[in-house]
Amino acid sequence: MQLSNDTNYKGNLGQSLKLDEYSHVEQPLMEQLRGLGWHKGEGDDRHEVLELPMQQVPAQSFRTSFAEVILPPKLRVALRKINPFLTDGQVEEVVRKISTFDKNSLIENNQQVLHYLLENTTVATNELTGELSPTVRYIDFDNLENNVFTAISQFKVNIPGTDHHIIPDMVLFVNGLPVVVVGARDVDL
């Protein structure tokens, strides 16, 4: 976790634990990602690493609220690139499918998202060709260059039904969808 603006740890011991964790685990992970072509940036860059302060606003992570676990603008950009036949309304329909859930079970909701990622989804019609029920892909497994990769350090998320939040050390996204959550710990701590 990042030390900046963190009030959860008090005193010298807490500060040294936070600094050790950051400098020995989080920072090297971010540097490895940058070495793989990810970079510091803002906007809709394709491969980026963002370091957020503990005191943050949702817009810094491409969201309108901390209740969102996806990055809607990144998802919309990717959907349009991978599925150029989608209309604006269809893009919104496909975003809603993967971001709203009718089950109360986290496991069932995660299974539904995994199904969409692996099996794709459809829309009623390809408005350009008239094709019925065309396949819509969330991730382009055939041409990886069509995907948008984002890593966010200190990604704050509200815990549903509470006033509390969690802040994973690092979350890796493909096309605005979280695929890896990292809780970094220095093995010597």
65, part of any domain: yes
> Which pLDDT score, from 0 to 100, does residue 81 have?
95
> Which pLDDT score, from 0 to 100, does residue 185 have?
66
- Check: CB of residue 174 under 8 Å from CB of residue 82: no
> Which pLDDT score, from 0 to 100, does residue 16 have?
52
Q: What is the pTM of this model?
A: 0.81
For 68-104, the DSSP string reads --S-HHHHHHHHHHH-TT--HHHHHHHHHHHH--S-S
Tell me the CB-side half-sphere exposure of residue 13, using CA atoms within 13 A.
1
4, part of any domain: no
Q: Which long-range contacts (CB under 8 A, 24 or more apart) does 63-68 make?
A: 65/158, 66/156, 66/157, 66/158, 66/165, 67/157, 67/158, 67/160, 68/99
For residue 55, the 8-state DSSP code is: S
Number of domains in the chain: 1
1, part of any domain: no
Mean pLDDT by runs of 10 across the 189 residues of the chain is 40 53 82 81 65 86 92 95 96 95 85 92 93 96 91 90 90 94 69
189, part of any domain: no
> Which pLDDT score, from 0 to 100, does residue 50 have?
80
6, part of any domain: no
Residues 6+ apart with CB under 8 A from 8: 14
Distance CA 147, CA 126 (A): 21
Domain that holds residue 127: 11-182
> Which pLDDT score, from 0 to 100, does residue 75 have?
96
Residues 6+ apart with CB under 8 A from 142: none
